[in-house]
């Protein structure tokens, strides 16, 4: 609808990537600082929402050909699978594990299975929000 507004279009690209990066940051930071899968996912969704506001629905669909229902399903399976790791290892359902690793570039980092679970949450939140917005927006 606003395809001729050059300033908005250009700004949207910039802002979208800022939101996108911030969303990733806040998601990864979640275990030690405020943030996490919910906030990260919602931020990501709001960034996508900005794209929809700026461009046409069809244009965005061409830019990001993502089927959000499948994204939701992947997220749910991810969460469930992570929760089941404990079962395989012989512990209770939902047992999480963590340890410190020396990673190249990043140095000493703590890796955590809870993070994988949070990834599932992230995907579901993005997927559902976008699913809702897309289906309402596409319903004319």
Partner 1 sequence: MEFVMCAVIGFLFFAAVYLMLSRNVLRIILGTAILSHGAHLLILTMGGLGGEKPPVLQDGVKNAMMADPLPQALILTAIVISFGVTALLLVIGYRTYQTAKTDKIDDLKEDEFHE
Partner 2 sequence: MQLFILFLPFLFALFLPLIKKWGKGHLGYYVIPIPIILTVYYSSFIGKETQYESISWISALQVKFDSQLDGLSLLFSLLISGIGIFVLFYSIFYLNKKERLHQFYMYLLMFMTGMLGVVQADSVISLYVFWEVTSFASFLLIGYYYEDRISKDGAFKSLMITIFGGLMMLGGFLILSNVTGTMSIREMTAQAAQIEQSSLFYVALVLILLGAFTKSAQVPFYIWLPDAMAAPTPVSAYLHSATMVKAGIYVVARFTPIFAATAVWGNVIAIVGVVTLCWGSFFAVKQKDLKGILAFSTVSQLGMIMSMLGVAALVSYTNDTSTFYQFAAFAALFHLVNHATFKGALFMMAGIIDHETGTRDIRKLGGLLSVMPVSFTVTMLGTLSMAGVPPFNGFLSKELFFMTMWQSKEALPLGTLVFAAIWLASIFTFMYSLYFVCGTFLGKRHTLPKRPHEAPIGLLVAPIVLLIIGLIIVFRPNVVADLLIKRAVVSIQPTLFESASDVGVHVSLWHGFSAEFLWTLGVIVLGILGVLTLKKWQPMYEKWPEKWTLNTLFNQVISIGDASFTKWSRHVMTGKSRQYFTFMLGMVSMLLLFVLWKKGAFAFSWEGASTIHIIDGLLVVTLVAGTIIVLKATTRMTAIIALGVVGYCVALFFVRFQAPDLALTQLVIETVSVALFLLVFRNLPKKIKEEQKQKGKWLRLLVSASVGLTVMLFAMAAYSQKLLPTISSYYKETVLKEAGGGNIVNVILVDYRGFDTLFEITVLAIAGLAILGLLRSKKRKGDARDESK
CA 48 from chain center: how many Å? 11
100 is a contact residue toward partner 1 (CB under 8 A): no
43 binds, among partner 1, partner 2, none (CB under 5 to 8 A by kind): partner 2
**Residue with token string 């499948």:** 70
Structure-token pair, residue 91: 């512990």
Other C-beta atoms lying within 10 Å of the C-beta of residue 137: 14
126 binds, among partner 1, partner 2, none (CB under 5 to 8 A by kind): none
Helices of type H across 30-140: 37-54, 57-63, 68-89, 113-137
125 is a contact residue toward partner 1 (CB under 8 A): yes
**Length of the chain in residues, anyone?**
140
Q: Return residues touching partner 2 (CB under 8 A).
A: 26, 30-39, 42-43, 45-46, 49, 53, 69, 72-73, 75-76, 79-80, 83, 94, 96, 98, 110, 112, 114-115, 117-118, 120-121, 124-125, 127-129, 131-133, 135-137, 139
Question: In whole angstroms, how close is the CB of 46 to partner 1 at the nearest point?
Answer: 12
User: Which residues, other chains included, contact 81 with Cβ-Cβ below 8 Å and sequence gap of 6+?
Assistant: 120
Taking CA atoms, 64 is separated from 68, 71, 113, 130, in Å, by 11, 13, 29, 12
Binding residues for partner 1 restricted to 24-63, rule: CB under 8 A? 32-34, 38
Question: In whole angstroms, how close is the CB of 134 to partner 1 at the nearest point?
Answer: 12
Which residues lie near partner 1 (CB under 8 A)?
32-34, 38, 125, 128, 132, 136
């Amino acid at each position: 609808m606003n395809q001729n507004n050059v300033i908005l279009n250009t700004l949207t690209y910039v802002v979208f990537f800022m939101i996108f990066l911030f969303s990733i940051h806040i998601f990864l930071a979640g275990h030690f600082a405020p943030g996490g899968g919910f906030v990260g996912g919602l931020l990501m969704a709001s960034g996508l929402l900005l794209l929809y506001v700026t461009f046409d629905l069809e244009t965005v669909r061409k830019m990001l050909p993502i089927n959000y229902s499948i994204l939701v399903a992947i997220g749910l399976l991810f969460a469930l699978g992570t929760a089941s790791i404990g079962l395989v290892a012989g512990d209770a359902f939902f047992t999480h594990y963590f340890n410190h690793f020396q990673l190249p570039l990043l140095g000493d980092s703590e890796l955590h299975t809870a993070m994988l679970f949070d990834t599932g949450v992230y995907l579901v939140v993005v997927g559902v929000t976008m699913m809702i917005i897309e289906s309402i927006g596409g319903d004319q």
